[in-house]
Amino acid sequence: MATRDILETPQRVTLTSLPGELHNYIVAELDAIGLISLSQTSHYFRSLIKPNKREMGEWLLAIEDRREHEAHVQQYSEQRTRPRGSRVYKKRWELHKWACTGCLRMLSHIHFDNRSLHTASTTARWRRCGYIQTSWTPKRSGGERDSRLWELVCSPVWDRLCNECQYQAGILSPPSSAWDGQRPAPVQCSRTALFRSTLDRFYPCLERVLGGTQPVSPHAKDCSHCQERRFSPHRVYQWQLCMARCPGCERWQELREFREPPMLEMTLSPGALCNSCYNEEFGREALGEDLLPHLKGLIVEKMEALERHLTLYGRMLDFMWPLLRMREGLLWVIDGVIQLGRRGRLTREKIDRLTKFHEQYTHLRHEVVTHEVTGRQINSLISLEEVLGFEEWFLCFEEFKAEWLWLAACEEKIDREPGLLAEWALGRDGASLE
């Protein structure tokens, strides 16, 4: 009777009741997430597994690769070259986190250099099997690891360190200067971004402080669907963004926060402080005065580029003589625009004269196109405008003028109120790449 009761009433078997040999076998077959989860269940499994930095690094790498965390982020190389996906894609990229195997934290892309993220996206071996097999192997002493298995599993991404961990490890320490013995602040390349000009790259969203909306000058491009030439306002350039470590607050911030242009040696001058530290040490007024020369230089550079479009800089009229004999007024207007551009920088008075020239040219050109008997001369006029660059001046003059006037107003406003620059610098996130 007793034997029958024993057979009919099975004993409850738990994981802790299994022999230690089975525990070692089960733990060795777990993935990285399961290993850390099991070690947190009881003191027994924690003493058996004894997770160290390697297991914690594997755990973070496994979390990074999970689909719900990854948010379907595309390869890093594609993101660097194309701003595809607009706001949705950009939001996914900003929300994604990468594992740092040095400080064992999940950090955003601004904390890593290009090489770390790009290498990790192309050497993730565990994606072939769907999970990360842990490198933990049982030994007689309990929880010993096989270094060869570790190199096989996680060596491609274990070298990924954030910028701060690389700096603390001495990897980013640049050589000291020969003349003063000081070490310049290290600079790490981050991802690339698209900006319309140098002014937008170093002073983004400046119109929020100066007021108004910045006009966008158009850019000529050929339409792929038809044999027409159109002008698009979306002219952008690719810029390499860089992160630098401030010696004052010890935070990594974008290079624009240090009020210095990027160097070929990818270093900052010794003692360079970010805007916040500079404000604490020298004051708000000194910060605005230090930002003013650099900003004015970029504004002047942009205005000179617009002036070359407004005044037909570098254009030649020799090829226009046979055509424009039929309309001497057109030749007189174009020659007046070119001569006006040779008399130094533009002023508001010269802009008014250019506006009158443009109105006269528009009126005379309309007469040529409307009243000429032969279409050959009309086609020659249009083709010469395209070759010599008059088409862009004729069609986009108002856009060029609006942006020039906005920049001139900004230059006058910051001369009157230099404190606006300090307000812009202190009101933004120094680590932001936008």
Buried b (16+ CB within 10 A) or exposed e, 243-266: bbbbbeeebbbbbbbbbbebeeeb
Fill in the DSSP letter of residue 183.
P
Q: For residue range 58-80, what is the model confidence (pLDDT) as tens digits?
A: 777 777 766 545 444 444 444 44
Phi, psi of 252 (to 5 degrees): -90, 125
What is the number of domains present in the chain?
Answer: 3
Same domain, 52 and 147: yes
Q: Are residues 271 and 420 in the same domain?
A: yes
Res 122: pLDDT:
39
Q: Write the DSSP symbol of residue 52.
A: -
Q: Are residues 20 and 137 in the same domain?
A: yes
Shared-domain flag, residues 211 and 358: no
Same domain, 366 and 231: no
Distance CA 26, CA 221 (A): 64
| Pair (127, 244) in one structural domain | no
Residue 339 φ/ψ region, left for φ over 0, alpha for ψ in the -120 to 50 degree band, beta for the rest: alpha
Cβ(388)–Cβ(321) under 8 Å? no
| Residue 4 is assigned to a structural domain of this protein | no
Q: Are residues 107 and 214 in the same domain?
A: no
Question: Domain residues for 206?
Answer: 187-307+414-426
- pLDDT tens, residue by residue, 245-291: 888 888 998 888 888 765 555 667 777 889 999 999 999 989 988 88
* pLDDT under 50: residue ranges of the chain: 1, 6, 9, 68, 70-86, 120-129, 141-146, 150, 152-154, 178, 220-233, 318-326, 373
State phi, psi for 406 to the nearest 5 degrees. -65, -40
Q: Examine the domain organization and report whether 228 and 138 are in the same domain.
A: no
* pLDDT at residue 332, as a whole number: 65
Choosing from 135, 168, 201, the residue where a domain stops is: 168
Q: What pLDDT does 143 receive?
A: 45
Could you say which DSSP state residue 377 is in? Answer: H
Q: How far is CA 57 from CA 14, 146, 153, 198, in A?
A: 29, 16, 12, 40
Per the domain annotation, does 194 fall within a domain? yes
Predicted pLDDT of residue 278: 92
Residue 295 lies in a domain: yes
Contacts of 158 (CB under 8 A, 6+ apart): 54, 57, 101
Same domain, 35 and 160: yes
Rounded distance between C-alpha atoms, residue 50 and residue 44, angstroms: 10
Same domain, 146 and 196: no
Inter-residue contact 134 to 58 (CB < 8 Å): yes
50 and 129 part of one domain? yes
CA within 13 Å, CB half, 177: 14
